[in-house]
Structure 1
């Protein structure tokens, strides 16, 4: 389903149902999150998570005019997977500000070293920050947007139930984790053969 102005709720309708739907959306987001080591968290987006984000932004900013709503859709809709990929918000999390500053300087380029390895297939590296550059010569950003574009054979394998790892081969953050079966099942729903 495509997110359009007509498919979004009015501020009033959203506010009325928000309390009951929020726990469901949080559980869905948790299912689609993969922690990589202690400091990286990838939140895989889909139509439901992006729709929720747009509705929340409209509520918080009290946006009700068509132009403002369209602007929010244009900002967030590119995060919805298109059938050949997974898209994620990548968070680099260091609670201590001094440690965060030091590590963001050490982790320049980490977003380009993220990969998904589908069982029996070569690694698929992330395509990062297509909207704008989020790092400079001194540090990387704590938030990146990444896309994993799968070849047809890897998509078919995932749809058939193959396992997959999420990993990073950055010099200062080597890590990988098997993606949990229930998370993989949800992510496979983003793919088409």
Structure 2
């Protein structure tokens, strides 16, 4: 199902429904999140998480005109996986402002060093920030958008239950984490 203007709730309907839907959506988001160490989290997006994000942006910005709604849909829809990939929001989280400034300067190029390694297959490196450049010569952003593009054999392996690791091989943040079976089962559902 794709996100269209007709598939979204009105501001009034969303305002009434959001409190009841939020706990379920937060649980769904946690299921689709993988932490790498203390400071890095990949939140794997799907139609449900992006629909929620669009509804919240419309509510916060009080957007009710058709043109504005179409603009939000156009901005966020590219983050919905399309059958041969996983799409994720990479968050670099440093609560202390000085540590954040120092580490974001050290982590230039980090988004391109993110990978998924599927059992029996090689690493698939992320295609990062296709929408716009998120780094300067001095520092990287605390938020990146990633796409992990899989070939047919990799998709089949993941759908058949192969294990997978999410990792980063950046010099200043080497980390890897086996993706939990329940998370992997959810993410495998994004693949055809």
Q: Which runs of at least 4 in structure 1 moved beyond 2 Å after TM superposition?
A: none
Q: Which residue of 2 aligns with 1:35?
A: 35
Distance of 2:170 and 2:34 partners within structure 1: 17
- The Cα of 1:145 is off from its aligned counterpart by 0.2
Distance of 1:57 and 1:137 partners within structure 2: 30
Q: Which residue of 1 aligns with 2:57?
A: 57
- The Cα of 1:153 is off from its aligned counterpart by 0.7
Listed as ranges, the gaps of 5+ residues in structure 2 are: none
Listed as ranges, the gaps of 5+ residues in structure 1 are: none
User: Larger deviation: 7-16 or 48-57?
Assistant: 7-16
Q: Map Cα deviations across residues 128-150 of structure 1 (whole Å, 9 max, x no partner).
A: 00000000110000000000001
Q: Which residue of 1 aligns with 2:187?
A: 187
Paired residues, number: 192
- Map residues 11-50 of structure 1 onto 2, 5 A cutoff: 11-50=11-50
What TM-score comes out, normalization by structure 2 length?
Answer: 0.99
- The Cα of 1:36 is off from its aligned counterpart by 0.6
Q: Which residue of 1 aligns with 2:77?
A: 77
Q: Which residue of 2 aligns with 1:7?
A: 7
Distance of 2:43 and 2:79 partners within structure 1: 11
- The Cα of 1:92 is off from its aligned counterpart by 0.3
- The Cα of 1:29 is off from its aligned counterpart by 0.4
Q: CA RMSD in A?
A: 0.4
- The Cα of 1:151 is off from its aligned counterpart by 1.0
